Amino acid sequence: MTLNELNNLDNQQASKWFEQCCASRTWIYSMTNARPFSDLKDIEGAAKTAWAKCAEQDYLEAFRAHPMIGDMNTLREKFANTKAIAANEQSGTAVASEATLNELKEANQAYLDKHGFIFIICATGLSADVMLSELQKRLPNSTAQEITNAAAEQIKITLLRINKALA
């Protein structure tokens, strides 16, 4: 899709397009109503501004739309709307050892149990071992700190998705 095409979508179509990038309804609404965008820098700036204005519940809503890192079954079954994008983002898990994937699964569950949401990281270009290391580093953090960390990772993911979708 081109930026011009995005600018000319009706609100319902634009909302669906933005949902591929970030599942927070507040963010989607803000982005849909921020159109038209003049260029890529403009849409990226609007995305950052809209995300910065979101509240904790908006962040958590966006986080819930992510599959757990390394959980390819979840990718296939639960998140069909962002499946292709998320699968590509997590391609580093495709070549991971079974032991690493099992450690990721266990660490992800421990993170979910502690913080109430899954571990969020911009996984593009990261190996499964690096993702596991980052998860293990962040696991001891407070939930408040992890909401901040995950929100920072989410906007990176969102910007990548916008750029890919407009390529």
* Residues labelled as active-site residues: 66
Q: Which two tokens stand for residue 115?
A: 């913080």
54: left (phi over 0), alpha (psi -120 to 50) or beta: beta
Q: What is the DSSP string of 65-101?
A: TSPPTT-HHHHHHT-GGGHHHHHHHTGGGTT--HHHH
154 alpha carbon, distance to own chain's centre: 5
Residue type, 139: L
> If you search the block for the tokens 């159109």, which residue do you land on?
35
Chain centroid to CA 126: 15
Q: Distance between CA 100 and CA 153 in Å, rounded?
A: 22
Plot region of 156 (φ>0 → left; ψ -120 to 50 → alpha; else → beta)? alpha
